[in-house]
């Protein structure tokens, strides 16, 4: 297998992880793609531009006649379908990253992956903010939106924040436990600063006093004064989504995807959005250009 194919596999894997596919899907899809490239290499096909509809059809026939490595007999239909679906997913990756694409003419169903549905519009984000009440829990909800949408943090990054990581004076959020253990500072807008300030000085103080008398450093506190984990924060977001009757599957990562898309739509450069999100490469950020255009 040549160097170009190896780089494509790595990029495809990063893309799947950026979109937060299940680990099993990431693992299987990259393995299917690796098998495909090994097949191409043996067939003397070393460039994407050489792949066409006919090549895919011949590869499909190859899968139907290939022996099963783990047990007697041929490959199952589910295995073959999953293999071709992984290639369709790979073609989408090629499209959104501006690389040469090839056609898959096979009529094999792929699970619906409407990425645009995982992006909230600005009006939907506004509705979530408006759904926050004025009590302590409501102020905490606004702070949650400020961290995950306003600052674009990943799920674990937000849950791991300590109150000392919010630098209000400097208008920065210090992310100590970023992906790959990389640290970074994330700028906050005036609105984000105001929401975090109100939560820290009012709501968080009351939540801390309601719990046991310990020095809890966590930014997000439960009603018992303990650190909230990612699941607890997700449930609060689900409640807001239900309140505004949003007919979309929304998670904390949806807020991150949404702010990235909105920043690109507003004219921010790809490089700036990449730094904001804490991506190691522009390739991971490039997927949002496709969503922004949609």
Q: Where are the domains of the chain?
A: 3-112, 117-293
- For residue range 138-157, list pLDDT tens digits in order: 999 999 999 999 999 999 99
Question: Rounded CA gap, 30 and 27, in Å?
Answer: 6
* One fold for 3-112 and 117-293: no
Which H or E run contains 160?
none
CB 41 within 8 A of CB 35: no
Region for residue 187 given its phi and psi (left: phi exceeds 0; alpha: psi -120 to 50; beta: otherwise): beta
How large is the average pLDDT for residues 228-245? 94
Spatial separation of the C-alpha atoms in residues 72 and 75, rounded to whole Å:
9
pLDDT of residue 147: 97
Q: Give the pLDDT confidence score for residue 107 in this predicted structure.
A: 66
The answer to whether 45 and 9 are in contact (CB under 8 A) is: no
Confidence of residue 160 (pLDDT cuts 50, 70, 90): very high
> CA-based angle 226:229:235, to the nearest 5?
110
- Locate 13 and state its tokens: 């894997």
Pair of tokens at residue 132: 């926050």
Average pLDDT rounded to a whole number, residues 61-83: 79
Q: How confident is the model at residue 116 (pLDDT cuts 50, 70, 90)?
A: very low
d(CA 252, CA 117): 14
The residue that leads in pLDDT, 76 or 285, is: 76
Q: Tell which wins on pLDDT, 238 or 118.
A: 238
Spatial separation of the C-alpha atoms in residues 4 and 261, rounded to whole Å: 29
Q: Contact at 8 Å (CB) between 255 and 155?
A: no
Over the chain, what is the mean pLDDT?
87
Check pLDDT > 50 for residue 162: yes
Distance (Å, whole) CA 161 – CA 173: 9
What number does CATH give the domain 117-293?
1.10.443.10
- What CATH code is assigned to 3-112? 1.10.150.130
Closest CA to 140 of 212, 30, 222, 77: 222
pLDDT at 128: 97
Residue 188, pLDDT above cutoff 90: yes
The whole-model pTM stands at 0.64
**Residue 265: partners with Cβ closer than 8 Å, 6 or more residues away:** 292
Q: Are 277 and 256 spatial neighbours (Cβ–Cβ below 8 Å)?
A: yes
The two tokens of residue 248 are 């979309």
- Mean pLDDT of all residues in 130-136: 95
Q: What is the pLDDT of residue 209?
A: 78
pLDDT at site 249: 84
The pLDDT, as a whole number, for residue 279 is 82
Calculate what percentage of the chain has a pLDDT beyond 70.
87
**Number of neighbours of residue 238 by Cβ within 10 angstroms:** 13
The C-alpha atoms of residue 129 and residue 126 are separated, in whole angstroms, by 5
Which position has the token pair 């674009």?
A: 152
Query: Strand locations in 16-133, DSSP E?
Result: none
Catalytic residues: 154, 179, 253, 256, 279, 288
């Amino acid at each position: 297998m040549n160097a170009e194919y190896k780089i494509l596999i790595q990029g495809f894997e990063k893309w799947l992880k950026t979109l937060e596919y299940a680990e099993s899907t990431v693992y299987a899809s990259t393995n299917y793609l690796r098998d495909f490239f090994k097949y191409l290499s043996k067939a003397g096909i070393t460039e994407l531009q050489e792949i066409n509809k006919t090549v895919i059809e011949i590869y499909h026939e190859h899968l139907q006649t290939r022996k099963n490595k783990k047990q007697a007999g041929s490959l199952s239909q589910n295995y073959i379908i999953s293999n071709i679906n992984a290639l369709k997913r790979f073609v989408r990756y090629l499209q959104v990253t501006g690389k040469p694409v090839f056609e898959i003419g096979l009529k094999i169903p792929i699970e619906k992956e409407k990425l645009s549905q995982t992006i909230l519009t600005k009006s939907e984000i506004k509705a979530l903010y408006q759904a926050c009440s004025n009590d302590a829990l409501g102020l905490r909800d606004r702070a949650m939106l400020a961290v995950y949408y306003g600052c674009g943090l990943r799920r674990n990054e937000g849950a791991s924040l300590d109150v000392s990581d919010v630098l209000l004076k400097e208008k920065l959020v210090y992310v100590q436990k970023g992906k790959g253990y990389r640290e970074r500072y994330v700028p906050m807008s005036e609105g984000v600063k105001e929401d975090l300030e109100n939560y820290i000085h009012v709501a968080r103080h009351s939540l801390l006093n309601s719990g046991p008398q310990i020095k809890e450093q966590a930014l997000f506190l439960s009603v018992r004064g303990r650190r909230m984990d990612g699941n607890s924060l997700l449930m609060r977001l689900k409640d807001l989504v239900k309140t505004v009757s949003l007919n979309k599957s929304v998670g904390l990562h949806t807020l991150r995807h949404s702010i990235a898309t909105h920043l690109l739509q507003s004219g921010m450069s790809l490089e700036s959005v990449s730094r904001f999100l804490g991506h190691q490469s522009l390739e991971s950020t490039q997927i949002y250009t496709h969503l922004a255009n949609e």
